[in-house]
A and B are shown apart, each in its own frame.
Chain A
């Protein structure tokens, strides 16, 4: 039995939606023709669409499609890969596949909840630059950011809680990336909380060395825009 590619798992979780062929084009773009072949992303045989209909002219990462050389007729993508690559809003906003349901995460609280409940068959994608594809490279049980996949387990959930606690005590996103608490903030909080801050602060050191985690945590703990 073939193991499904994470992009296919997410596609099934999303209810097998059709790819967004229109994109940013001003004129109507018809659905491109399909042919039998092998998907360059997932390696799944079946109906595929030629790569030129799927990828933008600015796309430079074709060497990352691990099955790109299998189809003798050239680079082509199956329906799941087409959907994942052409999903524009997934490049711009966080999405989550939690408990088999794929949906956009619209609020920081929603992202926090998704990160807290992320299981081994779930995925969370958190764009940073809003310019890069995330869904095609997502991995199950992990958080995908622009350039890397962040492992996510019980330890990360604990650190996210620490991050949120420090943030509620008044430390901002930049201050939390520093090696010690900022003096003006520390002196404003109650003496009992000062001890709490000094105890919690070193816990985030692994994330300070791997700044993508801090980006994800910052995004999940922001105040809701009103």
Chain B
């Protein structure tokens, strides 16, 4: 399942977000999915979700545009390119959708809530996968 479908499932389960918050959620979900697992695995994985909001908020001060934010997050988490075409297109859309200020404001002020939605989506997917096994 790609990140776009994962986020769509979230909107069904927990209600849709406004445009800026939706883009913020997508960006966080893609950053999470493409993180360097060698760096953020192992013992670091234990504190990963506690540290994620702090890293996201810090990246908001990298510059005035979402490109600055994404660059900082990519460096912090060692993000690679998204694996599916849909995710790549969604990432390009989210970064180039205009009104960067509104999305950065969401990333800065509603960080914990958005991270929680992403985490819930991943937990729900893992539960589904375990059920299928």
List A residues at the B interface (Cβ < 8 Å).
178-181, 183, 186-187, 194-195, 198-199, 201-202
Contacts and interface: CB of A to CB of B under 8 A. Distances in A.
Give 6 nearest A-B pairs by CB, closest first.
A180-B112, A180-B113, A179-B112, A180-B116, A198-B14, A195-B14
Contact of B113 (A187, A194, A195, A202): A202
Contact of B123 (A180, A181, A187, A195): A187
Contact of A183 (B13, B15, B116): B116
Contacts of B14: 194-195, 198-199
Of A179, A187, A201, most B-chain CB atoms within 10 Å: A179
Contacts, number: 30
A187 B110 CA distance: 20
Nearest to B49: A183
B15 A178 contact: no
Interface residues of B, number: 14
B49 A179 contact: no
Contact of A198 (B15, B49, B123): B15
A108 B90 CA distance: 50
Nearest to B13: A195
8 contacts: A181-B116, A183-B116, A183-B119, A194-B14, A195-B13, A195-B15, A198-B117, A199-B15
Given A195-B14, A199-B15, A179 B113 contact: yes
Contacts of B15: 195, 198-199
A23 to B, nearest CB: 48
Contacts of A199: 14-15
Contacts of A202: 113
A201 B120 CA distance: 15
Nearest to A187: B123
B115 interface: yes
